[in-house]
Structure 1
Amino acid sequence: MQRRDILKLGLGMAAVAWAGGAGRTWAAASGGSVAAGADTLDAAAWNAARQWTRTAFGRIAHVERGGGPAALFLHGFPLNGFQWRGALERLSAHRRCIAPDMLGLGYTEVAEGQGVTPADQVRMLADLLDRLGVENVDLVANDSGGAVAQLFAVAHPARVRSLLLTNCDAEIDCPPPALKPVIDLAREGRFVSEWLAPWQADHALARSPQGLGGMTFTHPHNPSDEAIDMYLRPLVDNAARTHAYAIGLDSNVLAGVEAALKQGRYPTRILWGTGDDIFSKASPDYLAGVFGDSRGVRRIDGAKLFWPEEFPDLVAEEARRLWGV
């Protein structure tokens, strides 16, 4: 694997910087803790809050916060719902915030023989919402979760009140070329052993330009030690499932969705980090022009692919504006 290819892919995640007071409130209520002097949520609080809901697709892991109308937060690859911890704390006063782990990622337990493609994710989410008694949602999504959000909006337009998309797939860039090395390694059964396992074992490597940090995170000190473990441990422990998720991204799952998205009447806002080298620079303007009720694009100067985890205040600001609260 060429170093250039690894840098271009730049899979990763980051520790969130967010309001210390709010974090301590959640940690205390959930049985977790925040380190003295720190302003980052302890992973123990997220683990303590995790629930599982049994569906036809498996036992779906999710964390909820708040009440009222529901908002559904969809993460990307190779992350899980922990990506949205800062946003949930900031928005829980306005919504019943639900952050599930996708099939094949995180702590969701996939049923035997169940597929984990984006289309499978859409069906799973609809089933999960039914079992949680949720009729419709405000969707917030990043990376491959953004592709799932668009497919969900096409399949269930009446269940979408609004859509907030951050850097993610678009019909003109799905999958992005930078993902090809990962898909190829996954097909050979080598992605976990050659990439994820070394990153989990060596946190400094995970934070290096050749690791999870690299060109996909705005701050070079990310991801934190606990974030590395939260994201990578379940993927390393179940390599076959992880490879299946990556292989499921090896086609343009958004082919042909443009016409249906144009018919959508849910307000849609695009937030795009300009430092992202994974997805096409043309995608934000394309996406803003596709949706029937587009609210335009906001660009975040220099921010990289997984910026929503690093800047939850910005996510919350834009979500509240879109939701009118």
Structure 2
Amino acid sequence: MTKAGVPAAVKPSSSSLYVRQVGRGVPVVFVHGTPSSSFEFRHVMDALAGDHRCLAPDHLGFGQSPKPPDADYRVVAHQRRFGETLDRLDLEPAIFVLHDFGTAIALPWMLAHPRRVRGVLLCNTFLWPAQGPLRWLFGFYSTAFGRWLYRVGNLSAKYLLPSAWGTAKPLDPELHAQYLAPFADRDSRYATAALPGELVGATLAEMEPQSSALGQWPVRAVWGMSDPFLGSRELDRWRQILPGLVVDTVALAGHFVAEEAPETVQRAVRALSARPNVEIQPH
């Protein structure tokens, strides 16, 4: 069986997305954020592959997808490309594992196709603009100088990623190098440089009221509690939005909980796939 680390993939053209695929069975769609890719889900995908069809697109500008310098890397463009990719994959009702920007990117397609969603797993994710000190920080990174830091210094993958890591699974130099590899030079970093502005822009503010719509499906969360960016306050916010949300917390995991605590994530996916699929009526 092909391992998710060496995937059977849908290879991209100049503007289409690379899709990591492994396994057969109940479909599971993994949606990454920044500065990451489908790579972060490989251990969870391998653990599920015996009875799940696991698919994880790399957004344009990330992972093994193309990184054109003149592309639109705003969230709305990622949403469109993600939707076009899923439309080509002929999915049965799927479980969606949403990390970081993944909720904002996947939700429009999910709301447009409610019957093709079987369940949702939230992993250190958000659907609202940055607030407090983080709003100031990412506002600075969205300036011309901030974008220059992202591109020239590889600020996101080189510095912010390790700062968001917990202690459940150490980020050793070899593993960090694998996360750095897709952003090898400044011309491969346009996508990471574009997203800080999205954290303080209008798109997330406009989407925030849609967050409660996730409650129409079975939904769970796995949360790394040592995440300095999306910690207990953001988890509490999800609990208020989605009463009865079932949460598995991982005290020592940071932002990249699928990498840091893959066993917990794959158990949560299995809990969702064990439920009977209930057809959702479109609104």
Would you call these one fold, judging by a TM-score over 0.5? yes
Given candidates 284, 300, 312, the residue that maps to 2:262 is 312
- How big is the alpha-carbon RMSD for the aligned residues of Structure 1 and Structure 2? 3.1
CA distance in 2, matches of 1:241, 1:171: 20
CA distance in 1, matches of 2:233, 2:256: 18
**TM-score, length of structure 2 as denominator length:** 0.80
Structure 1 residue 265 corresponds to structure 2 residue 223? no
Given candidates 218, 238, 241, the residue that maps to 2:167 is 218
Equivalent pair of 1:192/1:236 in contact (CA under 8 Å) = no
Amino acid at match of 2:212: K
Equivalent pair of 1:137/1:160 in contact (CA under 8 Å) = yes
Q: Which consecutive unaligned segments of at least 5 residues does structure 1 have?
A: 1-25, 31-44, 200-205
Given candidates 19, 43, 51, the residue that maps to 1:86 is 43
**Aligned equivalent of 1:16:** none
CA distance in 1, matches of 2:126, 2:40: 18
Q: Secondary structure at the match of 1:120?
A: helix
Q: Deviations over 1:249-285 (max 9, x none)?
A: 4425332445544344211112222211112532212
Q: What are the equivalent positions in structure 2 for 1:9-158 lying under 5 Å apart?
A: 29=2, 46-47=5-6, 49-54=8-13, 58-109=15-66, 113-158=70-115
Amino acid at match of 1:232: L
Amino acid at match of 2:190: A
Amino acid at match of 1:313: E
Q: Which consecutive unaligned segments of at least 5 residues does structure 2 have?
A: 276-283
Equivalent pair of 1:117/1:248 in contact (CA under 8 Å) = yes
CA distance in 2, matches of 1:213, 1:156: 36
Q: Secondary structure at the match of 2:229?
A: coil
Q: How many correspondences in the alignment?
A: 270
Equivalent pair of 2:40/2:259 in contact (CA under 8 Å) = yes
**Aligned equivalent of 1:23:** none
CA distance in 2, matches of 1:89, 1:47: 10
Amino acid at match of 1:320: R
CA distance in 2, matches of 1:283, 1:172: 11
Equivalent pair of 2:122/2:221 in contact (CA under 8 Å) = yes
How much does 1:46 deviate? Answer: 2.7
CA distance in 1, matches of 2:103, 2:199: 12
Relative distance call for 1:144 and 1:133 in structure 2 (3 A) is: same
How much does 1:320 deviate? Answer: 0.6
How much does 1:308 deviate? Answer: 1.7
Relative distance call for 1:161 and 1:186 in structure 2 (3 A) is: farther
Q: Secondary structure at the match of 1:121?
A: helix
Relative distance call for 1:127 and 1:186 in structure 2 (3 A) is: farther
Amino acid at match of 1:262: S
Given candidates 233, 240, 259, the residue that maps to 1:282 is 233
**TM-score, length of structure 1 as denominator length:** 0.71
